[in-house]
Chain A
């Protein structure tokens, strides 16, 4: 109920009753209310003018890391008896210490500041404007103002350290790197033999082979090592990402995407990211730390979604990825995904799939009854069959039980050289 209305009602009722009944004391009884209202009117803030500054201890943090927010407010207008200053934090951010709402008295020109600590789940957060609700001393005539203070916070998935990932795409770029390029030249790994040519270092001469031929000398040829194009596809389809008790498998996919992209960029490769789900969110390929930052920001903002168009993987825009480059698909996979993956492989893409295991993830939340065990065995067999088909097609595949740390799983599965894998000739296998 509005207090000003109530006070006015009481005062005017007394005055009118006093007038109607010609009772002076009743009239006089309205005086305190009139004085109260008049004092509120006089002390009511006529104009609100605040300068608000907000500083964050960090604008990008890993999930769960605390961020200290320092707020400084200067009253550039007249004195404000009571001001309630509030920031309504977006969903996903929580306050660990302190408060984002304060009740203060601000004299003209006075400056106050406070700190509070927040943490959040993965995401990109636009920090909200400040709402200032100032009143007279009696709270009768409040006045509100919104102070716009830009601020943003990226809460990023944890980035794990990986050993160098071994990939062998059919095509590489011209710059030197660590990916074997299937081209002879300067390098470390033995590639083949060729006739000795003037200018070859004597150390390259393969004396054993040369001894077999009286006339010719042969030199060792090494495999050039170059950087490669790596396209990371993060599957954000709701139908693929299991959601159990508020926990989504997609969060594990983001950890994998952040870690793998960081590892490939660390090796000097050119990396791009496609988030495939509600719509296509494409981060153009690039090199180095700046690209790493762009990809991390894109992953922070990625959310699972559903769309009729992108319900299956048929609409992965392969034109975004250079022909015969390395693709890394991070997806729990559905049973009907394997055909399009085989097609990608047939087009010459070197394909690596990191698949957070949805069966193990969901089963970990279910009671261990006979029915659950039987059904999970059936589903697991179907999934294993699909994964087997993919492996047979020369796809590097990591089936990640998310109860295991990702870096350990990757260390055991992908830190050794892959063999030469020919692309299958058909679209199905």
Chain B
């Protein structure tokens, strides 16, 4: 089930981001996204786990670029969320390969998909909600957010360094 969902997520993510560019008339970007999604699909079918990281970064970059150039919002947001789900499922599938024959992988899959569904759904809904709440991003707000971001980033790096690998 995980494998099928993974392929579906990659296909849908590629379709959403590609469609966003196509609707905006940026055909070369749409073609590029299509190529990346085919390559990612092929890599997953061959079991190349590292390709998911590359596909994830490229798709997020593409979605960000689409939003930045104001080619649309919803398709790029959906594409980003589906990319996150695909990237997660790729890693989960790699972990499932470590399971032994008699392990209860169905239970693991069910729980994982439930978590992923909740997180993706919540993330998507929160973005949609953020579309309704439009606050003017003044210099003051921006500076505050920048300080918060830098502080959070440094805290995260410190925490990751302390944590055993």
Asked if A and B are interacting partners, one says yes
- Interface assignment of B50: CB less than 8 Å from any CB of chain A: yes
Interface residues of B in 99-127 (CB under 8 A from A): 99-105, 107-108, 111-112, 115-116, 118-120, 122-124, 126-127
Instruction: Verify A35–B119 contact, CB threshold 8 A.
Output: yes
Q: How far is the CB of B112 from chain A (nearest CB, A)?
A: 6
Partner of A32, one of B84, B95, B107, B112: B84
A residues in contact with B149, CB < 8 Å: 12, 15-16, 19
Instruction: Verify B127–A102 contact, CB threshold 8 A.
Output: no
Q: A19-B142, A101-B98, A138-B88 are in contact. Are A14 and B126 (CB under 8 A)?
A: no
User: How many angstroms from the CA of A14 to the CA of B84 in the assembled complex?
Assistant: 14
Q: A29-B64, A32-B81 are in contact. Are A137 and B112 (CB under 8 A)?
A: yes
User: How many angstroms from the CA of A43 to the CA of B156 in the assembled complex?
Assistant: 17
- Interface assignment of A39: CB less than 8 Å from any CB of chain B: yes
Closest residue of A by beta carbon distance from B95: A139
Could you give, for residues 165-206 of chain A, a 1 whenever the CB lies within 8 Å of some chain B CB and a 0 otherwise?
Answer: 000000000000000000000000000000000000000000
Closest residue of B by beta carbon distance from A43: B115
- Interface assignment of A57: CB less than 8 Å from any CB of chain B: no
Instruction: Verify A102–B100 contact, CB threshold 8 A.
Output: yes
Instruction: Verify B105–A103 contact, CB threshold 8 A.
Output: yes
User: How many angstroms from the CA of A429 to the CA of B32 in the assembled complex?
Assistant: 90
Instruction: Verify B100–A99 contact, CB threshold 8 A.
Output: yes
Interface stretch, picked from B8-16, B21-29, B39-47, B53-61, is B53-61
Could you give, for residues 73-111 of chain A, a 1 whenever the CB lies within 8 Å of some chain B CB and a 0 otherwise?
Answer: 000000001101000000000000011011111000000
Interface residues of chain B, those whose CB is within 8 Å of chain A, are 50, 53, 56-57, 60, 63-64, 67-68, 73, 76-77, 80-81, 84, 88, 91-92, 95-96, 98-105, 107-108, 111-112, 115-116, 118-120, 122-124, 126-127, 130-131, 134-135, 137, 142, 145-146, 149, 153, 156, 160, 163-165
Interface residues of chain A, those whose CB is within 8 Å of chain B, are 1-6, 8, 10, 12-17, 19, 21-29, 31-36, 39, 43, 81-82, 84, 98-99, 101-105, 114, 135, 137-139, 141-144
- In the assembled complex, 13 residue pairs joining A and B whose CB atoms fall closer than 8 Å, in A order, are A8-B156, A10-B56, A16-B146, A24-B135, A25-B131, A32-B119, A34-B123, A35-B126, A39-B118, A84-B95, A104-B108, A137-B111, A139-B92
